[in-house]
Amino acid sequence: MAVVVACVDADQNRAGEFAGKYSLESLTWEALLASADVDAVTFCTPSGIHAEQGIQALRSGKHVIVEKPMDVDLAACDALIRARDETGLQLAVVSQHRFDPASIIVREKLDAGEFGNVILAEARIPWYRTQKYYDSGDWRGTWDLDGGGCVMNQGIHTVDLLRWFCGAPRRVHARMGTAAHTGIEVEDCMVATVEFRNGAIATILASTSVYPGFPASLMITGTQGTAMIEGDALKVLAIQGQEQWVSKASNLHALQVAGGGTRAASAGRDEKPGSADEAYAWGDAHREQFRDFVECCRTGRKPVVDGQEGRNSVELVLALYESARTGREVVFE
């Protein structure tokens, strides 16, 4: 078990209000670093200062978990990883969708080889953000502190899963634009292709301009089957020679293909983990990641999403931006 004991905010009034609401101590940043009662710090600050603040916390003896993205450039990510190595403390990056039951099922079946060789993937993030959203903080929509728009800020969750499922990328090609928002530096639309070292190819569509906004989705296809995650739910799990599991409404159904026809049978929650009957509520995956982080702080085990894993998704996003800016394909070393 872990207990939240204090909060810090650059706006002391806001920190005081938050502290009062949750019975916490409101501290200055300097006081938090010096406190012997604080074992770990979680950062929900602008992306472009994650590494700077995380390094200070590690060197003051605190374990660190930062919100996505890890930071907005690779040099900063590397500096944070070095501080982790030098101090021997824990570093984790919030990528909570790896803890969704749907994601865990897909990863386990990929590891078991049940999909065969992964050949194709499609990542879609057709979201919507108002201009008011970008105007709500002077760091939003900036390259320095937000690090990017619909890909770095919103789409990185799906990019992280794509990278986790498909492995290391070999080359990328991207196009981006700012189409529906004003007064921001970053993109609100991107389309891209990715080729992975295992030979799989993927497309990425990301936007914060698709009114009224739709769930993110990720399809993974292998030579022997396909999985599709929509939102947090496993919508399709179809593997040759096995039952095809398709989530519909509040139930998970098994489709048995035989003789050209299909037969549907409802599956109870005890029969198949990860069904919509036991779908996570918002925040449950975060809770699972923090549980993993706390256990790692106690045991010394490496977090599921450690510094290198957090860096991997930033590296892919930055390559997409480089390709979009230059108009050229970016090849990974």
DSSP 118-187: EEEEEEEEE-B--HHHHHTSTTTT-TTTT--SIIIIIIHHHHHHHHHHH-SEEEEEEEEE--S-SS-SS-
Q: What is the pLDDT of residue 53?
A: 98
The pLDDT tens digits of the residues spanning 51-68 come to 999 999 999 999 999 999
| Confidence band, pLDDT 50/70/90 cuts, at residue 248 | low
Out of 62-71, 210-219, 246-255, 313-322, least confident range: 246-255
How many angstroms separate the Cα of 242 from the Cα of each of 7, 82, 249, 253, 261?
50, 45, 22, 13, 15
Q: What is the pLDDT of residue 332?
A: 97
* Residue 274 confidence (pLDDT) above 70: no
Q: Are strands 91-93 and 63-66 parallel, antiparallel or unpaired?
A: parallel
pLDDT of the residue at 75: 98
Quick: pLDDT tens for 179-193: 999 999 999 999 999
Per-residue pLDDT tens for 229-244?
999 999 999 999 987 7
Where does the pLDDT of residue 283 fall: very low under 50, low under 70, confident under 90, or very high at 90 and above? confident
Which stretches within the chain are classed as H helix? 12-22, 29-34, 50-59, 74-87, 101-111, 131-135, 156-166, 284-299, 307-326
Q: What is the mean pLDDT of the chain?
A: 90
Give the pLDDT of residue 333.
86
> What's the CA gap between 89 and 97, in Å, rounded?
24
Q: How far apart are CA 51 and CA 58, in angstroms?
A: 10
51 within 8 A of 80, measured Cβ to Cβ:
yes
Long-range contacts of residues 278-283, Cβ cutoff 8 Å, at least 24 apart: 278/101, 279/101, 279/232, 279/233, 280/100, 280/101, 280/232
pLDDT of residue 40: 98
Above pLDDT 70, what percent of the chain? Answer: 89
Interval 288-322: pLDDT, tens: 999 999 999 999 999 999 999 999 999 999 999 99
pLDDT band of 263, cuts 50, 70, 90: very low
Cα 273–chain centre separation:
22
Q: How far is CA 331 from CA 119, 123, 169, 317, 320, in A?
A: 19, 20, 9, 13, 10
pTM over 0.85: yes
Work out the average pLDDT over 255-268.
32
pLDDT at 267: 29
Strand partners, 93: 66
Query: In whole angstroms, how far apart are CA 94 and each of 39, 89, 97, 305, 312?
Result: 18, 17, 9, 7, 13
pLDDT exceeds 80 at position 147: yes
Q: pLDDT at position 213, please? A: 97
The single-letter DSSP state of residue 240 is: T
Mean pLDDT of 105-133: 97
Question: Is pLDDT above 50 for 145?
Answer: yes
DSSP, collapsed to helix, strand or coil, labels residue 260 as coil
Mean pLDDT (whole number) for 263-285? 44
Exposure b/e, 118-152, CB count within 10 A at least 16 = b = bbebbbbbbbbbeeeebeeeeebbbbebbbbbbbb
